[in-house]
Structure 1
């Protein structure tokens, strides 16, 4: 005999069912508790403490007592050096999106196929990502050395009769040099992401496109790239955040110089927070960096979600 819908609904609403749901919820919260504790200690508390110190003119010695309110934030938004740092960060983001990621995608399409020696190429391209940022910066500083007897690039220019360049000491060239190092360092990482995405594309789809008469360009534009769009979105997200928060390579190579030509937000924060010991002001810069990254993350995720909904 079939139970009426109203009766089944009353059965689901019994105290036993409510108790079972409460028990499941309690169990889930219990398993989430360790992660929540670590997240609070390692993320929420430091961010809250940084915001607290950003409201003071604090040098890092003794308690923070010189309350200045939001004056640190006002100074940040009017400081030409910080505006230059934001501009340099956006330039690195633009160069990464226009040059680095398309180049990594092109190489992934080549070495991810039936290319002779593709395993060797994969290893060569990915190897720079294994090196630490400090080692990478020191190595490239030697290559960019302005002395032709010590720097490889200037030695090559002298051989072909071109005047040696200042490279890292030239405000017009230093940001391009930094971008070249960042591309060399992180190129293999994005290439590996694209290769992983390519491996998830069924070969049957490509074979069907070939049977329908698609050529190589059409295969890439209308088959591979649409199926690889999820991986491309992840790569764009990581590249933008990485460029906005870049610190190690730039600080070791130029310390933001010359004349703030390679200054970014992270080096600006480090300079004021840990070199000049203006920790209150440095904390304010850190909060601004967090807000910029957070706004970008939320906007990007919202845009991606809308695209998924429309598709």
Structure 2
């Protein structure tokens, strides 16, 4: 019986010649090679702009600063007076530079011991089912949206000795003069500066802790409560350990931010009075753009870079190692 018309089958008895079929391995290798090359090209195209910007805005300035730190240079002509490591030895013996290190350590200690615990306590409070907590979160996070310069100008008006808000508030307690002299007294200016920094950044850490807290499964805290644990015991033995990675990241960001602190200090106090609020970045700016000792300022910038780099490497090696290894292990299991 002949096949129906339109089936495409031959009705004669001639043998049908089929094209040779390539081996399965060859077909599979050909299919994989083309997408792989396309994927690598796509990755290169998307990474190229970021790598170029990183090279021009990060690597090149670091190399230029490292080169100019070896010269006694005023920043106008080409650096010619080579002094080697004299700028670095000068920084080590400079009481201003050593004072900057001491003040930086004080700010770091205050941030870790005061600012971060207060942000954590506020995050735990706003995680509770209280009325209007979304409004509270917005209000507490709002200062972080402001720029550092705007915040500094705002608190310049707040702490103004001429009818500033602080003068009025302290006046209610019979200490109106104290409110206007906080930034003028060398013994209180650093702590007043820390208050402004905390006001600016505690909302950021609060949201960070709040996000970490909401990432903890509710079943764990409910199980602990069912077993008879108190609120403090649940926080101490369940919530706090699981917030460990978030807390460690917040400490890292706080320390690095303190080392690089400049904008707010410069607008608020300019490093005064009598250098009592000066930081490493302010000192670098003073020497580089006020005294035109660019070589020495470059040496200070390289020291700041090395301090940040060494701290980041050591912190990652000894503190963040457990978190990073856990993330890599989790990814390996998922794969």
TM-score, scaled to structure 2:
0.82
- Give distance in 2, aligned partners of 1:33 and 1:127: 35
Q: CA deviation at 1:176?
A: 0.4
- Whole-Å separation in 1 of the counterparts to 2:298 and 2:49: 28
Matched, 1:274 2:289: yes
Mapped pair 1:217 → 2:236? no
Matched, 1:264 2:306: no
Q: Say yes or no: does 1:144 pair with 2:175.
A: no
1:303 maps to which of 296, 318, 322: 318
Paired residues of 2:156 and 2:268 also in contact (CA < 8 A) = yes
- d(CA) in 1 for partners of 2:319, 2:278: 31
Out of 113, 119, 124, the residue aligned to residue 98 of structure 1 is 113
Aligned to 2:62: 47
The reply on whether 1:164 has 2:177 as its aligned counterpart is: yes
TM-score by length of 1: 0.88
Give me the whole-angstrom Cα distance separating, in 2, the residues matched to 1:28 and 1:155. 59
Alpha carbons 1:146, 1:167 under 8 Å: kept: no
Q: Give 3-state SS (helix, strand or coil) of 1:168's partner.
A: coil
Indicate yes or no: 2:72 matched with 1:57: yes
Give the SS at the match of 1:207.
helix
Alpha-carbon distance in 2 for matches of 1:308, 1:129: 27
Cα deviation for residue 24 of structure 1 reads: 8.3
- Check conservation: 2:169, 2:176, Cα contact below 8 A: no
Distance of 2:36 and 2:145 partners within structure 1:
47
Question: 1:74 maps to what in 2?
Answer: 89
Aligned residues: 296
CA distance in 1, matches of 2:40, 2:153: 53
Match 2:200 to one of 180, 185, 188: 185
In the TM superposition, 1:242-261 aligns within 5 A as: 242-261=257-276
Q: Which moved more, 1:112-121 or 1:23-32?
A: 23-32
The structure with higher relative contact order (CA 8 Å, sep 6+) is 1
CA contact (8 A) 1:167 1:174 kept: yes
User: What residue number does 1:119 align with?
Assistant: 134
Rounded to whole Å, the distance in 2 between the matches of 1:307 and 1:180 is: 33
Kept in 1, the 8 Å contact 2:216–2:242? The answer is yes
Give the C-alpha shift of residue 308 in structure 1: 4.7
1:58, 1:279 within 8 Å by CA — same for their partners in 2? yes
* Distance change (3 Å), C-alpha of 1:36 and 1:162: closer
Runs (5+) with no aligned partner, structure 2 = 1-31, 327-335
Q: Per-residue displacement from partner, 1:18-75 (whole Å, max 9, x unpaired)? A: 9x99998888667655443332222111100111111111111121111111111111
1:308 and 1:187 map into 2 onto residues whose CA distance is: 24
Aligned to 1:174: 189
Stretch deviating more after TM superposition (181-190 or 266-275): 266-275
Partner of residue 154, structure 1: 167
> In 1, Cα distance between the equivalents of 2:161 and 2:297?
33
Point out where structure 1 has 5 or more consecutive residues left out of the alignment.
1-16
Task: Report the counterpart of residue 289 of structure 1 in structure 2.
Answer: 304
Which residue is equivalent to 1:133?
Answer: 148
